[in-house]
């Protein structure tokens, strides 16, 4: 009916439309797949708290060395409770009532920060913590990074007692300046681990079932 | 919401053919209204529009966006002992009710969420009643009074205090009205107040009290105090209208002791079983547990007791006359007299608090004749320090107020609502200044010139004396949510301001008073009082018992009092009893208690005129029955002393003929959105000074009609023509002699065909954890504490009266009631009652699991039938396939949208954070408290050990006053590490059986068959046909006819 050239153009056009549709969908699926959306979530926090500085032991860009504080020093209930506990501001103040030091008139001493690269930025963050939050009696609203749905009842203490390291789920927080989610924390990801071969810390109950952990519904949903 | 005028026209269309139905009384029932829209302020069209728009948006924007950003708001300073999500337990005392039980308050993140009994408390132990469970609900009640008011307008405390103090200072006469359950410190400060204001009078007022009994005892024993019965020590118990397992104070302790005396779960040789005779007019929880029940009019009670006394003295004449005059079964009385005389010192006769003084004196004489007050007998103890004060003479209060007083202070009492005979409003108006102090701006407080909000039990300091030597502390677990103050503290502050006594001025607040009293009075001579105070706070109770104390009966005085005859009965008699749920009305705004079915009638959200079937026939009235389309029942005009109350008819077998039994606590007008205008106020039927029994009432059928809602329907479970094998043996009972002959009689009642499984279970249930439950029906009295405990623990919504009428109540646990009639009882007048708790049976071959299209319900390796809400799409196939009808479907997002439920944002803090709050369109059911199982397991496993027997308790088990429920690991060891677990022991007992075992669903709950203990002469051979009148819980998916269902 049409000329060959025109036909070819139609075919090309259709191939282009469907092809780009297919590529777009593949990309879209990949990009929007829940696991991929959740991964890499790295929100801005009200205070630029650096886990790398506090919990890590590497060298920071400004030349300081991480302080290598144990996770449990701040996340103190991780061994006994369902929640690891984001510490109350008073925990920060155990050190930061001295750091930075105060001048005789009561104001914060920024002398030590002036000399350092990005020192004043760090000082501003500290000032926020000490004066705007703790001093004003205002709680810090940390943005939740590693979050599971409300119908999931995850228990930290059980996983710590089974010998898991914090980093297995939270990634190497000690290298993160700002905390980022490294796993999807979706059910499939949980089950990937629970369905593996038992280890020596697995309880008898699940060794019997050749599982590392429970995979029945009420283990997490109730 | 449908507008008023529209509703009427629609209903007229719908019921056009039934003109006799009074349209105004018709309640809107959603299921019957085709144009009904969900009560959300959105009609169907709007909903569709919004749905369309949101669908369009959903295609465009969505996925690229993450879930909403959520925050962790850590505190600045963490309060002592607190960890996020951790349950903190504080011991305290329940001071809301009629007895100060000890309690443990569970607090999560600063919010009290659940009440348990205090195991250290000798009276109630770990158990509670239903009202205690609802304490957390009343704390967060948004209808509570929030700030003081003067003359109806909002004021602050400073102004209110100034006005009250000024009024008291300038007053010539002051009247202080309080409730009877004052703690020792409160009593002390009432004294201080009276001393500081000469001429002030203190009246104790309650609408439900036991002062008739207390006064009688005072007269015949010569001292003030109370007799405490120990039901576990008695072999024969005779209750003369005493509902000691139900509405009497101390029922939690009585239930435990009674159940201890009904242990049957062993091999049949060593059986410990008491025998309970109940003579009563109404049908009570106690009556439904009786071995022999005597239905008599209340006016005949005195004659019954006297007749028994003469019969025990060898003169049968009087008893025979009495029996013949009342057309009763002579054999029962012969058996009773024989039992009593054969068990001298080991029997108990108790009379109800409704009875007049003469009956109590006669009962004391009978007990004395039976040797129950002797030293060797252990059934009675004398307690000189009662937990409650005796109430004042209502006539005296009336005449005092009539004369006109300057200041009237009503503290925690509500006489405008419940004054006997009514009419307190005019008395209150005579006072120049009236001060009302209450939790709600109730009928009384709103009438007073100064209205003051009281703090809740959980926000208050207090002390309480349960009995001689049992003193407990009540400590606050949360700061007052509103601008409220506890009544005692108000009294203290006012007293300080009007008194010259410098000693009284030293106290800053009520906490100071309690602390000082605890340290100085409780531990006299102890130097380090501070430590003892800490100990007291920790355990909540101090026990230094000096029991048993005895009292000597003055027989002459008792004879004199007992000879005061009761007024002769007229054509109709009326008995007014406290309600099993809302008590005297103080709990009327608690939706859990409104929706908790009455333990006997299964009535919800209402009170009624309860009459016997025969009386209903003679009055030509009927009770509405939803099933037959006849929705609304008849109403009776009940008239006493010229006061008429219109009460809807409820027909309850077991009630004496020509007696109308009704309950107090309804017909509130100013309590809150839940309790207002529910039921009828019957306080006008009561006369002063404990006149709950009216012997000459007029009763007639009223023109209007009224719909009552019961959660259980009433129909015959078994047809006369039905073959024995066809009948399903659900609630099995037998007699003691039968049990002794054949301990396994329960299992021999039904036939189990050869059971074949199609596929094998993937799990081996003989190893590891396998959670199972055993419910001993010998112990269960049907008190319904478990139903409310389950509601509190598992965030179960309340659905309201209309939705209950549709059978959509959400209780995960219900108690099924079965009535059996003797074949000779053709009128079906006196039933034998069987109460059976019914909850998810956690079947190993669960029929619900294999019909779920989305695998939302599945089996766990620990034998639990898991329900995963986030997977459920709401097909309701599972509920249809469940033979026990225990699954509940959330039709209308009751937590959020149902007005009657009123669990709005203010009440969200009560939710248990360990349990999902289910949304609409999701099936839910009992999970065996899987949150408690998981928590217990985590705790044990983290310590590298197995869960111990008894370490994990379900909510229903923990609350049960009779310890009828046992839960645990069927493969586990005993609590001491040896032998088998308790649940295994009970399950292996010969009495134990599974309900509907023949279906091969392998339920995880076993029941201990009920063994009745009738007198051997009266025990009948088991009839081939049990004439069971059964009723099954409906589950909202109209399956309430399962008892008729196929028997394939």
What one-character-per-residue DSSP string does B191-229 give? HHHHHHSTT-EEEE--SS--HHHHHHHHHHHSSS-EEEE
Q: How confident is the model at residue B80 (pLDDT cuts 50, 70, 90)?
A: confident
B400 to each of B180, B202, B403, B949, B1037, how far by Cα in Å? Answer: 19, 11, 5, 60, 58
pLDDT digits (tens, 9 = 90+) for B543-556: 876 666 788 888 89
Residue A59 within a domain: yes
Among B861, B848, B840, smallest CA distance to B769 is for: B861
pLDDT, tens digit, 9 for 90 and up, residues B872-902: 999 999 999 999 999 999 988 787 765 545 5
Give the Cα separation of B28 and B25 in Å (integer): 9
In a domain, A44, yes or no: no
Chain A contact for B869 (CB, 8 A cutoff): yes
Residue with the bigger pLDDT between B4 and B862: it is B862
pLDDT of residue B55: 52
Residue-wise pLDDT tens digits, B989-1029: 888 999 988 888 999 999 999 999 998 888 765 443 443 44
| Stretch B645-672: mean pLDDT | 92
| Residue B246 predicted with pLDDT over 80 | yes
User: Model confidence at B3, in pLDDT bands (50, 70, 90)?
Assistant: very low
By Cβ distance, the residue of A86, A161, A217 closest to B74 is A86
Q: Count the domains in chain B.
A: 4
Does one domain contain both B185 and B273? no
> B219 and B181 in one domain?
no
Collapsed DSSP state (helix, strand, coil) of residue B1019: coil
Is residue B215 located within the same domain as residue B343? yes
CB B53 within 8 A of CB B61: no
As given in the structure block, the two tokens for residue A34 are 């829940």
B54 and B27 share one domain: yes
Write the residue in B72, B764, B868 that is nearest to A217 by C-beta: B868
Asked if residue A161 belongs to a domain, the reply is yes
- Average pLDDT of chain B is 84
CATH number of the domain at B631, please. Answer: 2.40.40.20
What are the Cα distances from residue B474, in Å, to A68, B206, B462, B511, B539? 47, 22, 5, 10, 11
| B726 found inside a domain | no
Clarify whether residues B189 and B238 are in a common domain.
no
Query: Is the domain of A159 the same as that of A215?
Result: yes
B5: burial class by Cβ within 10 Å (0-12, 13-18, 19+)? Answer: exposed
* Across B777-790, average pLDDT: 92
CA atoms within 13 A on the CB side of B413: 28
Task: Supply the Cα-derived Rg of chain B in whole angstroms.
Answer: 29
The pLDDT value recorded for residue B547 is 64
* B1009 falls within a domain: no
Partner residue opposite A222 with nearest CB, options B71, B871, B927: B927
Query: CA-CA distance, B297 to B281, in Å (whole number)?
Result: 5
Residue B556 lies in a domain: no
**Per-residue pLDDT tens over the stretch B917-973:** 888 899 999 999 999 999 999 999 999 899 999 999 999 999 999 999 999 999 988
Q: What is the pLDDT of residue B719?
A: 61
In this prediction, what percent of chain A has a pLDDT beyond 70? Answer: 99
Do B221 and B190 belong to one domain? Answer: no
Sheet bearing B715-716, strands edge to edge: B715-716, B1028-1030, B814-820, B832-838
pLDDT band at B689 (very low <50, low <70, confident <90, very high): confident
Distances in Å between the Cα of B379 and the Cα atoms of B99, B257, B309, B1018 are 21, 11, 19, 26
For residues B327 and B295, what is the distance between their CA atoms, to the nearest angstrom? 10
Section B764-768 average pLDDT: 87
Name the residue in chain A with its Cα closest to that of B73.
Answer: A141
What is the length of chain A?
A: 222
DSSP string for B670-733 = SS-TTTTT-S---GGG-BTTTB-EEEEEEEEEEEEEE--EESB--EESS-TTS-GGGS---S-E
Asked whether residue A212 falls in the same domain as residue A136, the answer is no
Q: Does some domain include residue B730?
A: no
More confident residue, B4 or B679: B679
- Residue B630 CA, distance from chain mean position: 30
Q: Is the pLDDT of residue B245 over 90?
A: yes
Query: CA B22 to CA B42: how far, in whole Å?
Result: 29
Phi, psi of A71 (to 5 degrees): -55, -40
Burial of B372 (0-12, 13-18, 19+ CB in 10 A): buried
Which ranges constitute the DSSP H helices of B78-200? Answer: 130-133, 135-139, 157-169, 184-196
Tell me the two tokens of residue B528.
């380090």
B614-637: average pLDDT: 79
Residue of B nearest to A129 (CA): B76
| Out of B118-122, B145-149, B797-801, least confident range | B797-801
Among B383, B398, B425, which residue terminates a domain?
A: B383
Residue predicted with more confidence, B398 or B9:
B398
d(Cα A181, Cα B10) in Å, to the nearest integer? 57
Instruction: Judge contact between B813 and B790, C-beta under 8 A.
Output: yes
B402 with B539, same domain: the answer is: yes
Q: Is residue B294 part of a domain?
A: yes
Burial class for B871, CB neighbours closer than 10 Å (0-12, 13-18, 19+)? middle
| B423 occurs within a structural domain | yes
Confidence grade of residue B327 (pLDDT, cut at 50, 70, 90) = confident
β-strand A141-143 against B71-73: which pairing, if any? antiparallel
Is A200 a domain residue?
Answer: yes
Give yes or no for residue B284 having a pLDDT over 70.
yes
For B721-785, the DSSP string reads TS-GGGS---S-EEEHHHHHH-TTHHHHSS--PPP--SS--SS-TTSS--EEEEEETTT-----H
Report yes or no on A10 lying in a domain.
Answer: yes
Between CA B558 and CA B221 the distance in angstroms is 8
- Asked if residue A215 and residue A108 are part of one domain, the reply reads no
Domain hosting B41: range is: 4-64
B913 Cβ under 8 Å from any chain A Cβ: no
What's the mean pLDDT in B840-844?
A: 93
The pLDDT, as a whole number, for residue B1046 is 30
Nearest residue of A to residue B866, measured between CA atoms:
A218
Does the complex come out with an ipTM higher than 0.95? no
Check: CB of residue B715 under 8 Å from CB of residue B604. no
Helix (H, G, I), strand (E, B) or coil at B107: strand
**Residues A154, A136 share a domain:** no
Q: Under an 8 A CB cutoff, do A208 and B767 touch?
A: yes
User: B514 and B429, same structural domain?
Assistant: yes
Residue B14's pLDDT is 31
Distance CA B63, CA B761 (A): 40
Q: Does B83 touch chain A (CB under 8 A)?
A: yes
Phi, psi dihedral angles at B226 (to 5 degrees) = -145, 150
The partner residue sitting opposite A216, judged by closest CB among B861, B914, B942, is: B861
For residue range A178-195, what is the model confidence (pLDDT) as tens digits?
Answer: 999 999 888 999 999 999
Contacts of A148 (CB under 8 A, 6+ apart): A154, A185
- Does residue A103 sit in the same domain as residue A198? no
pLDDT given for residue B60 in this prediction: 43
Note the pLDDT of residue B78.
86
Are the CB atoms for B890 and B919 separated by under 8 Å? Answer: yes
| Mean pLDDT, residues B290-317 | 90
User: What is the DSSP secondary structure assignment for residue B1002, as one 8-state letter?
Assistant: -
- Asked if A87 and B74 come within 8 Å (Cβ–Cβ), the reply is yes
A115 and A189 part of one domain: no
- Measured between beta carbons, the chain B residues lying within 8 angstroms of A142 are 71-74
DSSP-assigned beta bridge partners for residue B150: B153, B450
Could A219 and B860 be called an inter-chain contact, meaning their C-beta atoms sit closer than 8 Å? Answer: yes
pLDDT one-digit tens code per residue, B493-537: 999 999 888 888 889 899 999 998 888 887 766 666 677 888 889
Token code pair at residue B107: 């607090």
Where does the pLDDT of residue B455 fall: very low under 50, low under 70, confident under 90, or very high at 90 and above? Answer: very high
Rounded to 5°, angle at Cα B723 from B720 and B726: 115
Interface test with B, best of A27, A130, A198, A221 (most B CBs within 10 A): A221
Q: For position B531, which CATH number holds? A: 3.40.50.740
Q: Is the pTM of this model over 0.90?
A: no
* Whether A136 and A158 share a structural domain: no
Q: Domain check: are A128 and A102 in the same one?
A: yes
| pLDDT attached to residue B1023 | 45
Owner of token pair 């039994």: B661
Whether B222 and B362 map to the same domain: the answer is yes
pLDDT computed for residue B902 by the predictor: 53
CB atoms within 10 A of CB B551: 20
Taking only the tens place, the pLDDT of each residue in A21-50 is 999 999 888 877 777 777 888 899 999 999
Over residues B338-384, the pLDDT tens digits come to 999 999 989 999 999 999 999 999 999 999 999 998 888 889 988 88
Q: Does A204 share its domain with A114?
A: no
Burial B883-896 (b: 16+ CB within 10 A, else e): bbbbbbbbbbbbbb
Q: Which of B697, B715, B733 is the last residue of a domain?
A: B715
- At a CB cut-off of 8 Å and minimum separation 6, what does B454 contact? B145, B412, B437, B438, B439, B484, B485, B486, B487
H/E segment holding residue B793: helix B785-793
Distance from C-alpha of A221 to C-alpha of B916, rounded to nearest angstrom = 8
Nearest to B73 among A37, A79, A139 (CB): A139
Q: What percent of chain B has pLDDT over 90?
A: 50
A 10 A CB-CB count for B33 gives 14
Cβ under 8 Å to A: B residues 929-948: 930-931, 934, 938, 941-942
Same domain, yes or no: A119 and A158: no
Task: Please state the length of chain B.
Answer: 1048
- With respect to residue B111, please indicate whether it lies within any of the assigned structural domains: no
Among all residues of chain B, which has the CA nearest to that of A159?
B942
Q: What is the CA B256 to chain-centroid distance, rounded? A: 15
Q: Do B866 and A216 touch (CB under 8 A)?
A: yes
Say yes or no: B239 and B370 in one domain.
yes
B585 three-state secondary structure: coil
Closest CA to A100 of A135, A132, A69, A127: A127
Would you tell me how many other CB atoms lie within 10 Å of the CB of residue A46?
15
Instruction: Give the pLDDT confidence score for residue B215 in this predicted structure.
Output: 92
Instruction: Write down the pLDDT at residue B175.
Output: 93
Residue B827's pLDDT is 79
If asked whether residues B236 and B199 sit together in one domain, one would say no
* pLDDT at residue A113 greater than cutoff 90: no
Q: How many domains does chain A contain in total?
A: 3
Is there a contact between A147 and B67 if contact means CB atoms under 8 Å apart? yes
Q: How far apart are CA B561 and CA B557, in angstroms?
A: 6
Among B466-470, B637-641, B656-660, the range scoring the smallest mean pLDDT is: B466-470
SS3 letters across B859-918:
ECCCCCEEECHHHCCCCCHHHHHCCCCCCEECCCCHHHHCCCCCCCHHHHHHCCCCCCCC
- Tell me if B727 is assigned to some domain: no
B71 min Cα distance to partner chain A (Å): 4
pLDDT at A190: 92
Chain A positions touching B871 (Cβ under 8 A) are 217
Q: Which domain holds residue A197?
A: 51-69+77-86+146-222
What tokens were used for B268? Answer: 């049949």
pLDDT in the model for residue B894: 82
> How many Å apart are CA B332 and CA B326, to the nearest integer?
13
Q: Which of B707, B712, B680 is nearest to B624 (CA)?
A: B707
> Are residue A163 and residue A61 in the same domain, yes or no?
yes
By Cβ distance, the residue of B72, B867, B930 closest to A144 is: B72
Position with higher pLDDT, B315 vs B186: B186
Residue B1020: burial class (beta carbons within 10 Å; 0-12, 13-18, 19+): exposed
Are A216 and B77 inside 8 Å of each other by CB? no
In a domain, A129, yes or no: yes
For residue range B83-142, list pLDDT tens digits in order. 888 899 999 999 998 899 999 999 998 899 999 999 999 999 999 999 999 999 999 888
Q: Is the pLDDT of residue B30 over 50?
A: no
Task: Give yes or no for residue B905 having a pLDDT over 60.
Answer: no
User: In this structure, are residues B863 and B757 in contact, taking their beta carbons and an 8 Å threshold?
Assistant: no
Contact pairs from chain A to chain B, CB under 8 Å:
130
The verdict on B228 and B273 lying in the same domain is yes
Is the minimum CB–CB distance between B66 and chain A shorter than 8 Å? yes
Interface test with A, best of B938, B952, B1004 (most A CBs within 10 A): B938
B63: pLDDT strictly greater than 90: no
A222 and B914 within 8 Å at the Cβ level: the answer is: yes
The 10 Å Cβ neighbour count of residue B162 is 13
- Smallest Cα distance from B795 to chain A, Å: 12
Q: Which of these ranges, B61-65, B459-463, B873-877, has the smallest mean pLDDT?
A: B61-65
The first and second tokens of residue B306, run together, are 């006297």
Same structural domain, A82 and A167: yes
The backbone torsions φ and ψ at residue B251, rounded to the nearest 5 degrees and listed phi first, read -65, -25
Residue A122 lies in a domain: yes
């Amino acid at each position: 009916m049409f000329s060959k050239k025109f036909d070819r153009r139609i075919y090309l056009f259709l191939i282009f439309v469907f092809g780009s549709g297919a590529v777009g969908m593949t990309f879209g699926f990949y990009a929007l797949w829940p696991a991929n959306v959740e991964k890499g979530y790295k929100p801005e926090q009200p205070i630029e708290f650096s886990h790398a500085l506090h919990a890590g032991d590497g060298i920071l860009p400004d030349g300081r060395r991480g302080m290598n504080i144990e996770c449990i020093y701040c996340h103190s209930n991780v061994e006994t409770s369902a929640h690891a506990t984001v510490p109350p501001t008073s925990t920060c103040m155990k050190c930061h009532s001295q750091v930075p030091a105060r001048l005789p008139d009561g104001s914060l001493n920024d002398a030590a920060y002036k000399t350092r690269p990005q020192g004043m930025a760090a000082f501003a963050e500290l000032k926020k913590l000490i004066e705007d939050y703790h001093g004003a009696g205002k709680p810090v609203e940390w943005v939740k990074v590693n979050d599971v749905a409300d119908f999931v009842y995850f228990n930290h203490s059980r996983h710590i007692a089974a010998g898991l390291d914090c980093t297995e789920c939270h990634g190497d927080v000690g290298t993160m300046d700002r905390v980022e989610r490294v796993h999807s924390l979706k059910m499939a990801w949980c089950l990937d681990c629970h369905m593996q071969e038992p280890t020596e810390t697995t309880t008898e109950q699940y060794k019997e079932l050749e599982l590392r952990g429970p995979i029945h519904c009420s283990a997490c949903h109730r | 919401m449908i507008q008023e005028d529209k509703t009427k026209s629609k209903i007229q269309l719908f019921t056009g053919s039934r003109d006799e139905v009074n349209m105004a009384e018709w309640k809107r029932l959603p299921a019957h209204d085709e144009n009904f829209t969900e009560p959300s302020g959105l009609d169907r069209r709007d909903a569709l529009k919004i749905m369309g728009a949101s669908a369009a948006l959903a295609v465009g924007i969505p996925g690229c966006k993450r879930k909403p950003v959520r925050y962790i708001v850590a505190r600045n300073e963490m309060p002592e002992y607190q960890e996020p999500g951790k349950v903190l337990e504080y011991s305290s005392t329940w001071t809301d009710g009629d007895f100060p039980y000890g309690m443990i308050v569970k607090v999560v993140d600063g919010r009290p969420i659940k009440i348990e009994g205090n195991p250290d408390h000798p009276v109630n132990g770990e158990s509670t009643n239903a009202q205690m469970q609802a304490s957390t609900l009343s704390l967060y009640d948004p209808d509570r009074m929030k700030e003081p008011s003067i003359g109806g307008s909002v004021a602050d405390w400073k102004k209110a205090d100034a006005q009250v103090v000024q009024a008291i200072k300038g007053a010539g006469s002051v009247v202080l009205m309080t409730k009877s359950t004052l703690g020792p410190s409160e009593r002390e400060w009432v004294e201080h107040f009276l001393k500081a204001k000469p001429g002030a009078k203190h009246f104790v007022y309650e609408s439900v009290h036991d002062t008739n009994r207390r006064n009688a005892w005072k007269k015949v024993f010569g001292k003030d105090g109370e007799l405490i019965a120990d039901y576990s020590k008695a072999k024969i118990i005779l209750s003369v209208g005493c509902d000691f397992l139900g509405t009497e104070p101390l029922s939690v302790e009585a239930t435990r002791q009674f159940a201890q005396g009904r242990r049957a779960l062993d091999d049949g040789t060593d059986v410990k079983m008491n025998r309970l005779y109940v003579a009563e007019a109404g049908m009570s929880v106690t009556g439904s547990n009786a071995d022999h029940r005597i239905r008599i009019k209340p006016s005949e009670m005195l004659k019954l007791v006297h007749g028994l006394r003469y019969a025990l003295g060898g003169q049968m004449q009087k008893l025979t006359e009495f029996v013949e005059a009342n057309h009763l079964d002579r054999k029962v009385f012969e058996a009773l007299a024989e039992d009593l005389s054969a068990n001298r010192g080991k029997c108990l006769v108790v009379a109800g608090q409704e009875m007049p003084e003469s009956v109590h004196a006669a009962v004391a004489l009978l007990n004395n004749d039976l040797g129950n007050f002797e030293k060797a007998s252990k059934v009675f103890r004398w307690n000189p320090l009662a937990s409650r004060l005796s109430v004042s003479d209502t006539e005296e209060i009336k005449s005092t107020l009539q004369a006109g007083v300057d200041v009237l202070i009503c503290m925690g009492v509500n006489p405008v609502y419940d004054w006997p005979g009514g009419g307190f409003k005019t008395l209150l108006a005579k006072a120049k200044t009236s001060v009302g102090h209450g939790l709600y701006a109730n009928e009384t407080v709103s009438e007073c010139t100064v209205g003051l909000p009281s703090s809740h039990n959980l926000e208050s300091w207090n002390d309480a004396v349960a009995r001689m030597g049992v003193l407990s502390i009540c400590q606050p677990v949360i700061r007052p949510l509103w601008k409220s103050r506890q009544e005692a503290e108000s009294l203290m502050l006012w007293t300080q301001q009007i008194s010259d006594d410098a000693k009284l001025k030293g106290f800053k607040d009520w906490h100071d008073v309690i602390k000082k009293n605890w340290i100085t009075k409780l531990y006299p001579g102890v130097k380090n009082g501070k430590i003892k105070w800490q100990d007291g706070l920790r355990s909540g109770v101090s026990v230094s018992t000096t029991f048993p104390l005895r009292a000597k009966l003055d027989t002459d005085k008792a004879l004199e009092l007992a000879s005061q005859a009761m007024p002769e009965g007229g054509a109709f008699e009326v008995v007014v009893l406290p309600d099993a749920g809302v008590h005297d009305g103080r709990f009327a705004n608690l939706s859990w208690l409104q929706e908790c079915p009455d333990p006997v009638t299964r009535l919800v959200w209402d009170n009624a005129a309860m009459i016997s079937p025969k009386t209903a026939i003679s009055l030509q009235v009927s009770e509405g029955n939803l099933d037959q389309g006849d929705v609304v029942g008849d109403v009776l005009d009940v008239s006493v002393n010229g006061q008429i109350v219109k009460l809807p008819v409820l027909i309850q077998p077991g009630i004496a003929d020509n007696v109308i039994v009704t309950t107090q606590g309804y017909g509130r007008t100013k309590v809150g959105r839940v309790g207002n205008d529910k039921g009828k106020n019957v306080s006008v039927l009561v006369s002063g000074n404990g006149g709950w029994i009216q012997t000459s009432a007029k009763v007639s059928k009223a023109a209007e009609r009224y719909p009552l809602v019961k959660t259980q329907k009433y129909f015959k479970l078994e047809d006369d023509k039905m073959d024995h094998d066809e009948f399903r043996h659900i609630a099995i009972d037998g007699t003691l002699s039968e049990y002794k002959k054949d301990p396994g009689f329960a299992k021999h009642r039904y036939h189990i065909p050869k059971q074949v499984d199609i596929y094998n279970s993937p799990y081996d249930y003989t190893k590891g954890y396998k959670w199972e439950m055993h419910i001993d029906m010998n112990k269960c009295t049907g008190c319904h504490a478990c139903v409310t405990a389950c509601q509190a623990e598992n965030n179960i919504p309340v659905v309201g009266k209309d939705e209950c009428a549709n059978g959509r109540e959400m209780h995960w646990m219900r108690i099924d009631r079965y009535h059996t009639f003797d074949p000779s009882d053709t009128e079906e007048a006196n039933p034998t009652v069987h109460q059976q708790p019914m909850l998810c049976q956690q079947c190993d071959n669960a029929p619900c699991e294999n019909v779920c299209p989305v695998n939302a319900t599945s089996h766990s390796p620990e034998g639990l039938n898991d329900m995963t809400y986030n997977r459920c799409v709401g097909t309701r196939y599972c509920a249809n396939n469940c033979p026990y009808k225990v699954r509940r479907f959330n039709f209308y997002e009751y937590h959020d949208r149902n007005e009657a439920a009123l669990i709005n944002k203010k009440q969200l803090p009560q939710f248990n954070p360990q349990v999902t709050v289910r949304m609409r369109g999701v099936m839910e059911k009992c999970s065996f408290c899987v949150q408690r199982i998981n928590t217990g397991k985590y705790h044990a496993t983290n310590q590298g050990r197995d869960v111990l027997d008894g370490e994990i308790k379900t909510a229903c088990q923990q609350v049960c006053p009779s310890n009828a429920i046992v839960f645990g690991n069927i493969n586990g060891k005993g609590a001491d590490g040896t032998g088998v677990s308790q649940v295994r022991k009970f399950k292996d007992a010969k009495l134990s059986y599974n309900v509907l075992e023949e279906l091969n669903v392998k339920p995880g709950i076993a029941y201990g068959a009920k063994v009745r203990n009738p007198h051997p002469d009266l025990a009948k051979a088991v009839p081939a046909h049990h004439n069971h009148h059964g009723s099954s819980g409906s589950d909202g998916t109209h399956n309430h006819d399962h008892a008729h269902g196929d028997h394939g």
